[in-house]
Structure 1
Amino acid sequence: MKSFLARTVRTLSIGQFVFLLSMAAMALAVGVVLVMSTVVERRAVGDLAQEEARQTSELIFQSLYAAMRKGWTKDEIADIVARLNESQPGTEIRVFRGTPVIAQYGDLPGEALVRDNDPLVAEAFRTREPVLRTGEHHIRYLYPVLVRDECRACHAADIGQVNGVVDISYPITDLKVSVGFVIKSVIIYFTLILSSLFLALYFKLRVFVAQPIARFVGVIDEIIEHTDLNRRVGQGTHLKEVKSLSDHFNRLLGTIQEYQDKLEEFSQRDPLTKLYNRRKFEDFLRMEVARAHRHGHRFSLIMLDLDDFKSINDTYGHPVGDLALKELACVLDRRMRRTDVVARLGGDEFAVLMPETTPEQAHIAAENLRRALTEAVIRLPVGEAHANASFGLVSYPENGATVEKLTIAMDVAMYKAKRLGKNRVATLDSGEEDAVMAVFQKGRMLQQALADDAVEAVFQPIHRAGGGLMALEVLARVRTSEGLKPAAEFIEAADELGLTREIDERVFDKGLAVLAAHADRGLKMFFNLSGRSLAAADWMHGVPAKARAAGVEPERIVFEITEREALPHFDRLVKIIDAMRVHKVGFALDDFGSGFSSFVYLKFLDVDYVKIEGSLVRHLCSDPRDRVMVRHIHSMAKEFGVATVAEFVEDAATLEALREMGIDFVQGWYIGLPEPASVDGIPTRRPASGTVRVVSGTTVG
């Protein structure tokens, strides 16, 4: 029952609450009036009746006393009493003789019985004081007649004795009716006044408080139901507090609406260029795929990435780069149709959705856009600039029938344009569809692995040829339900999708943690870097500080670079190596001997190690030509003051041959398998049984 009442009270509206409060106040007021009126009535009736009875009794007594003074007989006095009783209906007057009169004139018949049995009469005789008693309909007043000096002329009595008692019974019915009428009239008028006050209070609260708040709640309900922030609370009230509440709420709605408009714009538009952002572009693409599938339309997509735009940021700073992006966005927006959707995907990447456009039409549009971009003059505070871009062009349904496939195809086509020499439009032919699907699937796997922190680092030992651990090479793996996938299965897809830098950074952080935990403070660690990581000058320059923060001296870090990665960033790589030399960070040329330009790199790049191509080392003992190649690479490296590392050492004979040549360091499955690190930072497994060998008293593996 209590819980029900509690729920009822909690669900009362303000109008109901005001009504109940007013009714309770009125009921309390009426109850108080009724109680007070009853008390007043009784007090008033009693006081008025007593006073009137006393006055009447006094008059009657004075009349009788005047007759007694004249010496009237008892019969005459009885006659006067009878007349008084007749003149005032309802009034009964009796006279009782006292002791002095009885002693002188005798007692009246039957009077002694009444006098002795009536307690009020006895009380008046005894106390010699008037006695007043109020009944429901009568007031009885007994007045004792005391002996005075003048009484002694007729009566032999002492002064102060009671000559007799005058007993008057006075009706109060008429008096009570009159006073009751007045009291009831007061009650009626007071009730009318209270009712009027109640109605006025209810009206005021209902109109000036309940209704404005009800409107206030109604506006909130409409905003919640329709998400319409244009609604406002009206000003239909004269109460200062309610009006102030409405004003503040309306201002709050205005502020929220302003922020909502800004958030809506930011959720759809790129804040710098005002073009659509990636999220909105994907929404448009999703709708266009559904529309094209339903109506049999064809459409095309262009993805473009500015060529070497980073040099503008590096040379003039990001504010100037932002101005350049805004100018380029204006060029793109002006050159495309009104029905086309132009978006900035992020950084210096843009995309265009061209509805109902065939591949041939799209190719013409892409070429026109490329020329317009090339010919455009970008006016910057530092002067004029020009920009080129690599364009990837794909079409629906030729290059994909879903948003995911089209997106990945668009990305792959753009990177194809980069590989073909930049500043061109690249498309995907039918023979590349399977490659796109493979890249798409691997891309999904890599993105999920990065999100789940499933990119792992394994470590392969590098030993001195004479024995003893010198370094660990960090290799990337992806953890799947089938086990750890080697880099060869995903690195190309990662490069196509631009994920190599993020993978490099994850592996670098995990390798750095292992190196910091390793007991050998002189141990080095070799890290493989992709082209994107090499091009990220800001990240490369931050490596020394990051290493020191992890408790690792920078000279314990060695970065491996390959000919394929060095070629596109050669000039920048030279500067990075020179900058890293200040912090004693090491560099190694990987796969040395696999290309004709390897020897040229040895001339221009200041490196510490050359890692001899594994295919030359693997057949060292069976192919004399490989032996000649390895010997000459080692000899040349020594002339340049560079240490040599032989990869793919898979048996004892190869190891012994390398030691005879004077190779500095060796690496391969015979030396140690790539394995995860244990808690103390040491690889947890050694080569399989039968492959561990002891060289000069030191375990190799």
Structure 2
Amino acid sequence: MHFWRRILAFSDSGASSPELRRAQYAELSRQVPLMYLIVIINMVMLSFTHAGRAPWVLTVAFPVAFTLICTFRAIKMMLARRTNPSDEVIVRALRTTVLLACVMGVAISNWSLLLFTYGDPYLKGQIAFFTGITIITVMTCLRPMRQIAPALFLLVVVPTLVFLGLQEHTVFWAIAVNMTLVMGGMIVVMQRSQSDFRQRIEKQIELDAQHRQLQALNDAVRVMANEDSLTGLANRRRFFEHLDRHIEDCGRRDETFALGILDLDGFKPVNDVFGHSVGDQLLREVARRLLEALPQDALLARLGGDEFGVILPDAGSDEELELTCRQALEALSPPFVFQEGSVTVSATCGLARFPKAATTAHELFEKADFALYYSKQHDRGTVTLFSDEHEEAIRRSAAVAQRLRSVQPEEAFHLEYQPIVDRDGRPLGFEALARWEDPVLGRVSPDVFIRAAEQAGLIGDITVPLFRRALEAVRSWPEELKLSFNLSAFDICSHKTMSALVAEIEAAGVAHDRLMFEITESAIMQDWTRATVALRGLREKGILVALDDFGTGYSSLSYLRRLPIDRIKLDRSFIADIEREPVARSILATISSLCHSLGLQFIVEGVETSAQLQILSQAGVTGYQGYLFSRPLPEEGVSLYLAEWRSRSSGGRPAEAQTLLSTRKTAAPAPAPAIVAAPGRSQ
């Protein structure tokens, strides 16, 4: 057993790595067949010259057997070039090569020395030449194996030298000395060659490792450039690259596909309440659910924040397309359960078809984004496919934006004022509402021109002059009345606009506590940090702040604690069916009680019937706004309204009857009004 271990240790390739062993194997697979060919030719020539002199066993049998073995090995090595053997196979092949080289070297040496006794001086010289040239050939062809040269020297050269040294003729002594020197030099050369081979392969291994590292780095960079690090989805860059290619391919093949944009509803409150770590978990889970719900050939990407994009190659009919997207949205309905708590979100989707909606990536994305915006404004949590109706709305919006750039806000816009009253109908103040009667476009709805102004970056140019006009109006009102003025997200997050508004207040000399800035929840959520900083700045100056349209956006009780607000205004949609919904009345009473506990004013918008007023009064509501008390009034109508209120109050009529009478006398036809920079809202 110990003997075989030594044999195996000797036959080991000596390679320190699988890569070096593989290089040795590749080199030998090219050299060994050539080595066998040379040895066979030499052996055949030697057998031919000794034919008839030596026994046939030496001149025929042994050469034939050796030739067959060498041919088999040569063919096997040549075939091995076409395969990719395992490291185990390579180790066995290298060991076999070393052992066969030693065994066959000894066999050839003994064979040639046996023939020596049958030859004349010329044939003996041929044998000496054969032995030397064969050994040199084997050493040269097997130079990648460090054991070969020393082994052949000991097993073949030394016995041959001893044999030649025992011959009587001095020529053979000279041959022995010459062979000793040559073979010694060959061993040194072979060892250096093997060392150079090893160093070259190790250098190549190092270069390959560096190349793999560089390739891995390139792959990582490519992944970072094309993959969203949080969800593993395609990122915005890869999404638009894919979209461009898809448009080109479908345009060439005259095919259609759909582009969708999905936006989560209620995601930002998750970050605010639970923290960004839960928000990140939620985005990963949303991505996973969407991937499972969407078709396999769809490309889903995270475009940024809580917005996702999807390309649906085989969209089918409009009904099938909408059904596919609705199923994806429904996959988000079950609560997301995390260690920190349970989270429920929904999503809204806008779709656009290629080439019906647009033929370029930019236009297609814009159309899908418009459909998303439309869906969010009219029916959150649904799917909206861009249509001709939306195309017309875009044209109107573009015409409005173009017209906005050509008008002077001071001349084009005017304000109307809607009273905010207590339960007795006594005015607490007025909300300023923007109106635009354009000679070219006619009457433009506030939600249309406000959105157009925001997109064109002109909203601040409208807000400041309208606020200046409102300040002029409030100076003529009784001191106890407050002015409510609405700000958009663009206004509240613009340092320039906020500074201009504060400067207007100082110039007008109006007491700060008579001013109430209203801002919606959705506007605050667009940039929570900047919005809250701006609102706190207003509060520090004594200016009041109201949270408008409460109940329509991301309503959360945590906001009531964290936001710097003085008043809550419940959206009119909340009380639309309050006469028939007991649950709504209970919720209303709870909100009223909560506001009272927090020291917040509570105003309900959209009060239109006496039945609503009675229910609200029973729930503890103390502030009201709506058509039951008055429609929005022109500036000159405010003084008439106040005069009639004082007259009715002094006349001792019931408050409700008095307000209804006032409504009939003072109300004038008016469009469904909306506030400055609050798209979609009407009074």
Greater share of residues in helix: 2
TM-score, with length taken from structure 2: 0.42
Greater share of residues in strand: 1
**Structure of greater Rg:** 1
TM-score, with length taken from structure 1: 0.41
Q: Say which structure, 1 or 2, has more relative contact order (CA 8 Å, 6+ apart).
A: 2
